[in-house]
Amino acid sequence: MKNGIIKEDGQLIFYKDDIPFHAGVINIDGHIYYVGRHGRVVTGQHIVHKEMANGLLERGTYTFDEQGRLIEDSFIPAKRVRSSQSSSKSKKSSHGRRRKSGKFRLTKKKKIQLVCIVVAVVMLFGLAVLIDAVKSGHGSSSSAQTQSTICLPEYSEPVALCTTAGQKLYANQITMESLKGIEVYQPLRFSYGLAGEDGILSLSENADMTKSRTFILAKSENVLELHNLKTGTTYYYTVEVGEERRTGSFKTAEGTRFIQIPGVANTRDIGGYTTSSGETVKQGMIIRGTELDGLVEASYFLSGKDVEAVQEQFSFVYDMDLRYPSEVTEAKGSRLGADVGYKCYGAPMYLSAFNDSYKQAVKNIFSDLAKEENYPMYMHCTYGADRTGTIVYLLQGLLGMSEQDMVREYQMTGMHAREYATSTRMDAMAEKLSEFPGDTTAERIEHFLTKEIGITNAQIQSIRDILLED
């Protein structure tokens, strides 16, 4: 059970009895923290209201360091707001006093303003002297060094790209049935602090920062959500603010790579799994999900305004549509763009994959999976469940994934529709495949595809070369 302050995804969270708790001001081991909504421990400058001060602090503004601890002597008193009536009385009283004495007297507010003006002038003068000294080469090294304007997160452990429920599912600590209706996808929350101006974040899977993506870091914010990152992957980043530049890296945790595409559901990467030979199925090559055009299910529709953002992340070059031709008579290519390859296959589902009437469809599918120019691709039927589930099951088995991982990948659809949370339909597929020669699932599927469907050994090898890596 979680209790106390725990760092998760670069964010400090306060837990009470395993629940993120909005505690307000708290004292832990002699250090003062301010815990806001959803248990988030605040950093930087924040206003503490009376109802959340818990008698530990006065109402006002305080500054907290990167660990969330109160910085001493950072207290700024809250401004007292007077009503218009009291303000009017004050003005009348002050005016009366001035007329009675015959002398001009500064109010308390005016005195504070005057002091602030004097202090500002002195600081500006001192700054001008310092700049002049630096330019002339007479300033000391300590005075010439400017304070950092960038505060970045520290990642000591791999960051999970799914909720706690998703992590427990991956670790086989809970069953799929218990996840019905529970959201498991979550982005990486990149926490930061900037001073002076907005910054630029560059993010890459390569240490030399090639093929990087860039994001704007607004100084008015302190968190940027990074969507659809790969699991089990090290990312490198640089943050630039003006002429200052900082670098860092983090690693994402192993697990199913759930995907978020606007208007689309049941989306995930078929990669990230380890095969019996110790190789890994590449991520980013095949993303599976629902239809994009709303031809059968109107709610599944990728809006034109979102296409550019989706393509920036995935760079799809092929749309493998497993629906029947009768369902897509109105389709005019892919919603992903006119330059994206598109074909409708009329794929089988479950045991119908072994029927003679679907042999040509299966052959067309696996022939096109053997073409490197078709990757990265988006593979779908209507719901991304039955036909997509059947083809992915055969493909992942061919690549050498374990039966357990193949079934679990199929059952992930159960998070969107409960009837898929069990493996009953796929159990029938496994039983049928057991009739084919071979000591492993991969060998039996290879025999089925080559001897029954007509896929060549060269095409089988091409599929493995494209989708597997050490």
Pair (120, 168) in one structural domain? no
What is the pLDDT, as a whole number, of residue 133? 41
Indicate the pLDDT class of residue 218, thresholds 50, 70 and 90: very high
Position 90 in a domain:
no
Domain that holds residue 237: 150-251
What pLDDT is recorded for position 91?
A: 40
Contact assessment for residue 160 and residue 253, using Cβ atoms and an 8 Å cutoff: yes
Provide mean pLDDT across the span 274-301.
96
The two three-digit tokens of residue 261, written as one number: 């595409």
Task: Please compute Rg for the chain using Cα positions.
Answer: 31
Domain identity same for 230 and 353:
no
Q: Are residues 348 and 434 in the same domain?
A: yes
Q: Which amino acid is at 193?
A: G
The CATH number of residue 184's host domain is: 2.60.40
203 and 331 share one domain: no
Q: Using an 8 Å Cβ cutoff, are 397 and 406 in contact?
A: yes
CATH number at residue 426: 3.90.190.10
**Does residue 281 sit in the same domain as residue 319?**
yes
Q: What is the pLDDT of residues 103-155, one digit of tens each?
A: 445 555 566 666 666 556 556 655 554 445 434 333 333 333 345 578 998 89
228 within domain boundaries: yes
Residue with more model confidence, 361 or 3: 361
> Looking at the structure, do residues 118 and 54 belong to the same domain, yes or no?
no
CA distance 14 to 35: 7
Map tokens 């002429």 to a residue: 243
Q: Specify the higher pLDDT residue, 173 or 247.
A: 247
- State whether 386 and 428 are in the same domain: yes
Q: What torsion, rounded to 10 degrees, do the Cα atoms 391, 171, 443, 466 define?
A: 60
Q: What's the CA gap between 319 and 102, in Å, rounded?
A: 87
Residues across the chain: 470
Q: Is residue 373 part of a domain?
A: yes
Confidence (pLDDT) at 106 = 52
| 345, 289: one domain | yes
- Based on the domain organization, do 313 and 432 belong to the same domain? yes
Q: Kindly state whether residues 226 and 281 are assigned to the same domain.
A: no
**Residue 188: how many other CB atoms lie within 10 Å:** 21
370: Cβ contacts below 8 Å, ≥ 6 apart: 455, 458, 459, 460, 462, 463, 466
